[in-house]
Amino acid sequence: MQLLSPTATTYSELQNAYEHFNKVLFDNALPACLITLQREKRTCGYFSAQRWANVEGQFTDEIALNPAYFAVTPIVETMQTLVHEMVHLWQHHFGKPGRGRYHNDEWANKMESIGLMPSSTGQPGGKRTGDHMGDYAVEGGRFLMACQALLTAQFKLSWYDRFPAEEHVAHGQASYASQLSDPAAAISPAQANQALANVVKPTVKAARQSEDGTSLQAPNRSNRIKYTCPSCAQQVWGKPGLRLLCGGENCDSIPFV
């Protein structure tokens, strides 16, 4: 059997995820869109209405995802970004979007209805509406149930950006998804897969910032972050950007992530 190319594999997986969430969370109401990968500084993803046109003069919307986060954030959070932007797409076609980048009450209500809590910080206690918004998954909510069904069906992302920036790693380790009760949802692919951990090499700089979408807070470099051994799960805290090796009995020189 001929294997799909990395391009076909990656976009097929993202399209499958879009179709799954469209069916389970939006009753298949959303039209097709063009999913792209864009490295945008401090942005996990964005939605752009009618950004593309074909030779017949037809339009389609764009949902962009930032692959720099894929390896170092829990896969649940990557799916959150996709669904966050799907809510923007829903609002563009069936509601009344806020002006510019503003995430209004209608958007926030739709997010809550599908099990994602809007938050300006991506954590409990953040503002519910505003220009720069993240979200977190509600335990027992519709999104996590839909995500669990997707992951149970052997869904995966096969290809990962090897060079996330320090802020991407810090974001993944501070993600509220890392606190979920489901262990499989709480760790990043680089933590779950030793082969991937061996080839992912965080760098200091990230790509330049562009269009706003799912927004992040700039990392506070004075804060400590959590590092985890992917083999024995031993954890230590330190400044972002450290290169640590596990010294456990069965973990000779395994790098923390």
At 74-88, the pLDDT tens digits run 999 999 999 999 999
The enclosing domain of 75 has a CATH number of 3.30.2010.10
- Same domain? 42 vs 159: yes
Q: Which helix (H) or strand (E) holds 236?
A: strand 235-238
If asked whether residues 139 and 155 sit together in one domain, one would say yes
Print the domain residue range for 120: 6-219
CA nearest to 120, candidates 136, 99, 109: 136
Buried b (16+ CB within 10 A) or exposed e, 28-67: eebeebebbbbbbbbbbbbbbeebeeeeeeeeebbbbbbb
User: What's this model's pTM, rounded to 2 decimal places?
Assistant: 0.78
Query: Are 87 and 24 members of one domain?
Result: yes
230 plus 124 within the same structural domain: no
- In three-state secondary structure terms, 225 is strand
| Total number of domains in the chain | 2
Better-scored residue on pLDDT, 93 or 242:
93
Is the separation of the CB atoms in 124 and 136 below 8 Å?
A: yes
Judge if 107 and 62 occupy the same domain.
Answer: yes
Q: pLDDT grade, residue 207 (50/70/90)? A: very low
Question: What gap in Å lies between CA 168 and CA 218, rounded to an integer?
Answer: 10
What per-residue confidence (pLDDT) applies to 220? 44
Considering the domain architecture, whether residues 255 and 140 belong to the same structural domain is answered as no
Residue 187 within a domain? yes
Consecutive H or E run containing 254: strand 254-255
Q: Is residue 200 part of a domain?
A: yes
Angle 105-51-101 (CA atoms, 0-180°, nearest 5)? 30
> CA–CA separation, 240 vs 223, rounded Å?
8
Work out the average pLDDT over 203-214: 52
68 and 161 fall within a common domain: yes
pLDDT at 104 over 50: yes
Q: Do 90 and 198 lie in a common domain?
A: yes
Examine residue 1 and state whether it is found in any structural domain, yes or no.
no
| Domain match, 70 and 189 both | yes
Q: In terms of domains, do 132 and 90 share one?
A: yes
* pLDDT tens profile 6-20: 999 999 999 999 999
159 lies in the same domain as 231: no
Residue 105 and residue 213 in one domain: yes
